[in-house]
Amino acid sequence: MYNNSIYSLQKRLLAVFLLIISIFFALIIRLFVLQIVKSNWLTAKAASQWTRDLPINAKRGTITDTNGATLAESYSSYDVYVRASMVTEPVKVAKLLSQVIGLNYEDTFKKVTNTTVSESLIKLQLDNTLAQKLISANLKGIMLSENNKRYYPYGDLLTQVLGFTTIDNVGQAGIELYAEKYLQGVKGYALEESDVNGVKIDNSLSTYIPAVDGCNVKLTIDVNIQQIVENALQVLCEEQKPKTATAIVMNPNTGEIVAMSSKPSFDLNNPPRNNVSELLSSVKNLSVVDVYEPGSTFKVLTTATAIEEGVTTPTEGFYDPGYRIVDGEKIKCWKLIGHGQQTMTDGLCNSCNSVFVDLALRLGTNTMYEYFEKYGFGNTLGVDFLGEASGILMNKQSAKKVDLARMGFGQAVAVSPLQLISAICSVLNGGKLYKPFFISEITDVNNNLVARTTPTVLNKTISEQTSATIREMLEAVVTKSNAINAFIPGYRVSGKTGTSQKYENGKIVPKYVSSFVGAYPANNPEYVVLVIADEPSSGNYFGSVVATPYAKLIFEGIINYKQDAPTEDVEADKLKLEKNIQVPNLVGLSLTEAVSKLSALGLQYEVAGEGEIVLEQTPPPQTHVFKNSIVILTT
């Protein structure tokens, strides 16, 4: 019987209540599982979303010269973003951004109101002063992230050596690239409590792991001398219009690179990033990465090798008829009529090819190559710079006699300017080939020493005695030859010019590399200077005219900077250079007649062309010139 009484109603009510209470218990068990059993697991997962990592950029290290002058430094700039979802006053925000940064208002407004993306980039690398304006406006939705911008106080100086960084402050070329791991520092982090949108919660705890700023790199470069070099090359470029011009100043007693420059160059604060080919060509540090045929400057090394090996002496007599025949092939001296009878030292002064053909043949392939290796040719020196060239040496086995003869006067061999100057340094400093280097010291932000480069002797090239002989001979070259353009009254400068004609596709073409390598002071060199002008287009191409005067500018600059007192009698020296000689009219004369006339007057000469009759002369007749000045004879 079914009886829906109040009593059964109440019973059912109680049953429902008990059912509900039992579900409560089930839910409490569920809560127990979540809040007690799985608590740690859930909390750990939850915690990962409560905080946000903000990378803090490390300040990139400073690059200084040897005296501590700043060459490259970083300062703060700001990247500006806008987070549209947080913007409360879009018109104000867009106005402020467009005015302060100088952007189009409509575009900015679009970004400010674009809520489909969480953040829009407004501007990278905004200057600190402008960024402060944005910060002080205190408008919601504008995000600034601090950044370090690279600044090069000297602009267009040491362009290829320093290199530059990407817009993200990563070293891209030069020392900036080579020393990247020291300069970059270690990024820090700010761990912030944030809401679901990554907005920092007010008054919340935050963990701050500070960034470690990059190390400071001190170079061997002396910015004063570097400026002298840059200026000299600038003048060279204006006057001689070469394709490129390169110069190195090295301390021969340590291998320190005191100055290094290549032209054309650009302002490091504004690299021509839009013109990639220009950027790539002008960022190349030609001194280190490029090779060339050194020409007559190489004769210094052949001389040193020959004297060291005892195959000649400075006073040995040589006869030059204007050529040598090697293996049936006629190797011409640049002076086609020949230098006649001369000593070994005269041969170096006259830059007589025949003498060096003799020396190379006397030394033989094995000895020549043995010394190439000692001088560091055919191998990298290990300079602290990326992309160092090792030079090009002919395979020893396939080098014929005639090739060897050419190598004697610096042809059929290619070396980098850095290799050449390092080898020259070794024959001047007593025979020690130093490893060249740019970086003298690396210190951390607290000025603790991280690394220091000590001069490293790579090879012993020649004896101290031979070296002394070479120093004397090289000084004689300046006073007695076409290298007179480097002569500075009162001071002892040595040096050797070089002019090499270029081969293109196996043929000699009328393109030249004009160079000069020299040292100051000649008797105990502190600075060795190499100047190279590639393909001068002003009409002249002799090293004596295209390179030497600019090396002299460098020497003078160094003397002036070091405030070195004259060691010689200035007045007596000046006489050597006095403009008391009138250039005679030589046009129409035979080359032999012209040369003997000039020699009688105490003038030096260079011959352009291969004819027998003088067609043109520079300077023109009746010009007053110094003793030992050069007259160029075009035949």
Partner 1 sequence: MLKVFKKNWLLVSLVFLLITLGMVFIYSASSYSAAVRYNDSFYFVKKQLVGFLMGLVVMLFFINFNYHKFLKLKWAVVAVSLILLVLVFIPGLGKSNYGANRWITIGGFSLQSSEVAKFGFVIFSACYLSKNYQKTKTFWGVVPIMAVGGVICLLILLEPNLSVTLCVGMVMLIMLVVGGMRAKHFLIILIPIACLVPILIIMEPYRLQRLVAFIDPWASPKEEGFQLIQSLYALGSGGLFGVGLFNSRQKYLFLPFSESDFIFSIIGEELGFVGCVLVITIYAVVIWKGVKIAINASDRLGCYLASGITSIIAVQLLINIAVVTGSIPPTGIPLPFMSAGGTSLMVFMGAVGILLNISKGEEQNLNRVNVFKKLKVKQNKKVLKGAN
On whether the CB atoms of residues 495 and 338 are closer than 8 A, the answer is: no
Q: Where are the beta strands (DSSP E) in 277-408?
A: 317-320, 323-326, 329-332, 340-343
Q: How far apart are CA 340 and CA 357, in angstroms?
A: 15
Put residue 232 in one of left, alpha, beta given phi > 0 → left and psi -120 to 50 → alpha: alpha
Q: How far apart are CA 241 and CA 262, in angstroms?
A: 13
Instruction: Examine residue 7 and tell whether it contacts partner 1 (CB under 8 A).
Output: yes
60-89 binders of partner 1 (CB under 8 A): 88
On whether the CB atoms of residues 164 and 271 are closer than 8 A, the answer is: yes
Considering only 10-18, 256-264, 306-314, 400-408, which stretch makes contact with partner 1 by CB under 8 A?
A: 10-18
Instruction: Examine residue 117 and tell whether it contacts partner 1 (CB under 8 A).
Output: no
270-329 binders of partner 1 (CB under 8 A): none
Nearer Cβ to partner 1 (16/451): 16
Q: Where are the beta strands (DSSP E) in 37-195?
A: 51-56, 63-64, 70-82, 120-127, 142-151, 188-193
Nearer Cβ to partner 1 (27/615): 27
Instruction: Examine residue 24 and tell whether it contacts partner 1 (CB under 8 A).
Output: yes
Token pair for residue 89?
A: 């006053």
Nearer Cβ to partner 1 (34/325): 34
On whether the CB atoms of residues 413 and 299 are closer than 8 A, the answer is: no
CB of 137 vs partner 1, minimal distance in Å: 18
Instruction: Examine residue 624 and tell whether it contacts partner 1 (CB under 8 A).
Output: no
- Among 13, 117, 167, 170, indicate the residue that binds partner 1 (CB under 8 A): 13
Place of tokens 């001979």: 473
Instruction: Examine residue 21 and tell whether it contacts partner 1 (CB under 8 A).
Output: yes
189-218 binders of partner 1 (CB under 8 A): 193-197, 201
Instruction: Examine residue 146 and tell whether it contacts partner 1 (CB under 8 A).
Output: no
Q: How far apart are CA 231 and CA 134, in angstroms?
A: 42
Instruction: Examine residue 135 and tell whether it contacts partner 1 (CB under 8 A).
Output: no
CB of 148 vs partner 1, minimal distance in Å: 32
Instruction: Examine residue 46 and tell whether it contacts partner 1 (CB under 8 A).
Output: yes
CB of 82 vs partner 1, minimal distance in Å: 17
Instruction: Examine residue 49 and tell whether it contacts partner 1 (CB under 8 A).
Output: yes
Residue 611: exposure state from Cβ atoms within 10 A (0-12, 13-18, ≥19): middle
Instruction: Examine residue 622 and tell whether it contacts partner 1 (CB under 8 A).
Output: no
Instruction: Examine residue 28 and tell whether it contacts partner 1 (CB under 8 A).
Output: yes
Instruction: Examine residue 8 and tell whether it contacts partner 1 (CB under 8 A).
Output: yes
CB of 120 vs partner 1, minimal distance in Å: 20
Nearer Cβ to partner 1 (41/503): 41
Coil, helix or strand at residue 234: helix
Q: Give the CA distances from residue 392 to residues 202, 353, 377, in Å, rounded to whole numbers and listed in that order.
A: 66, 21, 8
Instruction: Examine residue 12 and tell whether it contacts partner 1 (CB under 8 A).
Output: yes
On whether the CB atoms of residues 171 and 165 are closer than 8 A, the answer is: yes
Nearer Cβ to partner 1 (23/280): 23
Place of tokens 């290829």: 160
Instruction: Examine residue 22 and tell whether it contacts partner 1 (CB under 8 A).
Output: no
Q: Give the CA distances from residue 544 to residues 421, 600, 605, in Å, rounded to whole numbers and listed in that order.
A: 18, 21, 10
Query: Binding-site residue total for partner 1 (CB under 8 A)?
Result: 46
Considering only 38-46, 95-103, 383-391, 396-404, which stretch makes contact with partner 1 by CB under 8 A?
A: 38-46
Widest pairwise Cα distance in the chain: 155
CB of 265 vs partner 1, minimal distance in Å: 52
Place of tokens 């900036």: 176
Q: How far apart are CA 158 and CA 288, in angstroms?
A: 13
Instruction: Examine residue 34 and tell whether it contacts partner 1 (CB under 8 A).
Output: yes
Nearer Cβ to partner 1 (15/167): 15
Active site residue 296: yes
Considering only 29-37, 147-155, 290-298, 364-372, which stretch makes contact with partner 1 by CB under 8 A?
A: 29-37
CB of 175 vs partner 1, minimal distance in Å: 46
CB of 209 vs partner 1, minimal distance in Å: 21
Residue among 296, 251, 348, 289 nearest 499 (CA):
296
Q: How far apart are CA 501 and CA 508, in angstroms?
A: 7
Coil, helix or strand at residue 603: coil
CB of 27 vs partner 1, minimal distance in Å: 5
Instruction: Examine residue 38 and tell whether it contacts partner 1 (CB under 8 A).
Output: yes
Of the candidates 77, 262, 296, 514, the residue annotated as catalytic is 296
Put residue 126 in one of left, alpha, beta given phi > 0 → left and psi -120 to 50 → alpha: beta
CA atoms within a 13 Å half-sphere pointing along the CA-CB vector of 445:
13
Q: Which residues are catalytic?
A: 296
Residues that bind partner 1 (CB under 8 A): 2-17, 20-21, 23-24, 26-28, 30-32, 34-36, 38-39, 41-43, 45-47, 49-50, 88, 193-197, 201
